[in-house]
Structure 1
Amino acid sequence: MTTLDDLDERLASMSPEELALLEEELRAKVWAKRWGRWQPYPWQVAPEHIETLGWWLQLGGRGTGKTDGCARYMVEHVNGPPCDPRLKGGHRMAIVAPTQGDAVEACVNGPSGLKGHDPRVMLRTTAGGTFARWPSGAEAKLFGAHSPDDVERLRAGGNRCLVWMEEAAAMRRLSEAITHSAMGLRIGSRPHYIASTTPKPRREIRDLVGRDDVHVTRGRTRDAIHLPALMRTKLIAQYAGTRLERQELDGELITDVEGALWSWSLLDATRVGAMPNTARLVVAVDPAATSTDEADEMGIIVAGLSQAYVPDLNRTMRQHGYVLDDLSGRMPPIEAVRRAVQAYHAHRADAIVAEVNNGGEWIGTVVRQVDPTVNYRTVHASRGKATRAEPVAALFEQRAAHIVNSLPTVEEQLATWVPGDDSPDRLDALVWALTDLMLAPAGNLAAVA
């Protein structure tokens, strides 16, 4: 009978090469054992001959296994026929997520990622980038779609046979990610995309759903029977009865919300690709109520006012407002202030503007502690939120305010908030920023000659 001491002795006597071979064999056995146990939902199964369609797009509510389905498909693809027999392993793929960190955590290391389906997958970072690699030599390069640098990396991302777009609707630069990844999708006779996302009615997602070469599968949270019942109940309780229930739970692509001050079509119509030279720029902060509150989001929005006077929809010459960045999130108050101060310096802003009505006086003290050189001023809400937001929405309707590129989370808040509801912090920060730049100061309008 072999004892643990015997095994330890045998392992100690093995060379590094023999240990590496043993580890590879064990990983292969674990993979083979796990592979047959997977019980997919119907929406996690790719359509037959998906490679001839161009795209497989999974739209699903929370907890429906979208990442799991795509990871399974990629592992199956790697272990199928080579797309190019000349390549080591036969496959060169790409994974694009909102950030490269998301690609690592969700698509590779997470419980629904590649390693969960194939423990032989190894994550490697080299001078050429970060890769998920298989023993055969097949690889998937990991990309983000958040910053201009991410877009440049995608532009030079190399040729691929399969691209996985994870949480596509949450990508800040989704349009550019699709454009640049498509340029390199040319290995083999049938290169194609797979994509997984909770649907949001962004223009790019709407366009994909309407295309003939995109096969869409849909999953609902209430049908996700493998999800623990307690978690299903919690998610349903969180969204049931709200306007986001169909989107967040049922995976539907909802359209404009009745009564919302902004519409998706309005945001698309006013969107621009770049910010012109600025006359003024501010970082607006809508803080949590107290300096110890981490439950609420800290709204942090960067916006600028153009130097040039440009006609609006009514042919009135005026300086236009541009929303450049959304740095909001749930974070400790000190981190929120540091993030705002960093943005102040990075964008060479004129001021940090903070709303202090609901106990937000703490933010001025913390700003002075972090950087006493910052130009900081406060604003006080003397009117209701709807009254403050309506003039800013009107700026968009007049085609005088714009979002630069894409800011998915703040756009979703704009397009789904109805006056009377509690307004989210990102929306509030955007309202404060454009109010300070365009509505509070005088003299930024000039009549058309």
Structure 2
Amino acid sequence: MTLTRDELRTRVQQLTPEELAILEQQLADRLWRKRWNRWTPYPWQVPPDHVPTLGWWLQLGGRGTGKTDGCARYMVAHVNGPPCDPRLPGGHRMAIIAPTQGDAAEACVNGPSGLKAHDPRVYLRQTVGGTIARWPSGAEAKLFGAHTPDDVERLRAGGNRCLVWMEEVAAQRRLKDAITHSEMGLRLGANPHYIASTTPKPRTELIELTRRDDVIVTRGRTREAIHLPQAQRDHLMRKYAGTRIAAQELDGVLLEDIEGALWTMAGLDAARVGATPPLSSVVVAMDPAATSTDEADEMGIIVAGRGAAYIPDRNGFQRQHGYALDDLSGRMPPVEAARRAIRAYHEHRADAIVAEVNNGGEWIGTVVRQIDPTVNYRTVTASRGKATRAEPVAALTEQGSAHIVGSLPDLEEQLTTWVPGDASPDRLDAYVWAMTHLMLAPAGNLAAVA
């Protein structure tokens, strides 16, 4: 018998709360199965038959290759498979770790390739302990970030898990600590393990993962991602064909040392430090975006300091060392860039904001003064080529007197992939200005702006 819309509404209104809950669950189950059965995976999204205990399934892929989609699908299948611990509600207790907790919610749960896209029964719940993605069965995945020291502290108390999804591994600022602390709690069930998704970048931790016997790597290329519009794929390939950007961002190739690059990952790692010593000077260096088009460069904003103590470098010379403290770069309107730099100036008790002005950056001083006239603002003008300016700063790293504090993945990627002769990225330029001002520029070389 077919009911009219009004008859169906009347029937529903007559249901008891218990009957209504059962109906809602049945409808959700039908919707989930409908979505589940119409998914067509790429070859690199097909998971391995078995991931070793405490091992990894690592998806490396270019843009648009469905890395997040593949991991979300895997987690939903895991939840609907055999329970890892029958004593737990739903049998599963998992974790999702992304560059920030907001990224975990937006990309891994709510986004078009997230958990909800594969299982609409998933819902986010805010609890005293944090944000949790939960299934009606009671299975759950707690959301974590890996950006700030507080994020790492939350991971220390993250609890025991049967599955950990690491989203955009190469973009996680505190990746090493995130792996260490999540692995401590990866001990529920007979086969606790990781799944991971990332566009490859030259991170030491990522390179080490790809060399492990218990890490299964699958790779996808943008040119083969048929769910992306053909016009978009053709545009990207025409624009970047033959470049390192194409290899990394489109073909999913993990680039290690680049021939001709001034910095190497091994060199950065050798000079890396975990904490900042007492500092005698701090600057916030800004390098303006070159254009204002849709594909504009980033605004480079780097915070760096000079140590108070004289410490031997690798050559035995006593000198004050330089430390890159933070990378606040990004694509943003001029006013937001100035506000971000001013906020860092006060938070780090900096001596000056240093800005390059002969690349369209004259506006920086005007905007900074309008927002906060108390800021000590200085300008630098490039009188030499970028390679000539960058080489002495790269030499500081080789000498063991210029250090990155913790991890600044986006800056490190630019340092290790830029070759003189190419257009230099803005994070790198801001870093060079900062270290030049702190360690190489003679007193009085920089013009103070009144």
TM-score (norm 1): 0.95
Displacement of 1:15: 5.7
Contact between 2:76 and 2:115, CA under 8 Å: does it hold in 1? Answer: yes
Task: Using the TM superposition, give the Cα deviation of residue 294 of structure 1 relative to its aligned residue in structure 2, in angstroms.
Answer: 8.6
Residue type of the alignment partner of 2:278? N
SS in 1 for 2:82: coil
Cα shift at 1:130: 0.5
1:5-404 matched pairs, under 5 angstroms: 5-14=6-15, 18-52=19-53, 54-289=55-290, 295-404=296-405
Give me the whole-angstrom Cα distance separating, in 2, the residues matched to 1:304 and 1:13: 70
Change (3 A) 1:392 1:402: same
Deviation of 1:322 (Å):
0.4
CA distances 1:38-96 after superposition (whole Å, capped 9, x unpaired) = 11112111111224472111111111111111111000000001000000000000000
Give the count of matched residue pairs: 443
Gaps of 5+ in 1: 444-449
Shift of 1:8: 4.0
Question: Contact 1:292 / 1:333 at 8 angstroms: preserved in 2?
Answer: no
How many Å apart are 1:16 and its aligned residue?
Answer: 5.5
Moved more, 308-317 or 350-359: 350-359
Contact 1:291 1:363 in 2 (8 A): no
TM-score normalised to structure 2 length: 0.94
Distance 1:290 1:240, change over 3 A: closer
Are the structure 2 counterparts of residues 351 and 75 from structure 1 closer, same or farther at C-alpha, using a change threshold of 3 Å? same
Return structure 1 stretches of 4+ with deviation > 6 angstroms: 290-294
Are the equivalent residues in 1 in contact too, given 2:54–2:183 (CA < 8 A)? no
Q: CA deviation at 1:353?
A: 0.7
Percent of residue pairs identical: 76
Secondary structure of the 1:305 match is: strand
Unaligned 5+ segments in structure 2 are 445-450
Distance in 1, Cα, partners of 2:116 & 2:363: 45
1:412-427 equivalences under 5 Å are 412-427=413-428
Cα deviation, 1:183-238, whole Å, max 9, x if unaligned, reads 10011121111111111221101111111111111111122222221222233234
Matched-pair contact (CA < 8 Å) for 2:54–2:194: no
Distance 1:333 1:22, change over 3 A: farther
Out of 276-285 and 37-46, give the one that drifted further.
Answer: 37-46
| Contact kept in structure 2, 1:53 and 1:214, CA below 8 Å | no
**Structure 1 pair 27–309 and aligned structure 2 pair: CA distance change class (3 A):** same
Pick which of 342-351 and 50-59 moved more.
Answer: 50-59
> How much has 1:319 moved relative to structure 2?
0.4
Kindly tell me: are residues 59 and 293 of structure 1, through their superposed partners in 2, closer, same or farther at Cα, counting changes over 3 Å? closer
Aligned Cα root-mean-square deviation (Å): 1.8
Distance 1:81 1:27 in 2: 20
Check whether the contact 1:83–1:91 (CA below 8 A) recurs between aligned residues: yes
Matching residue of 1:446: none
Contact 1:290 1:360 in 2 (8 A): no
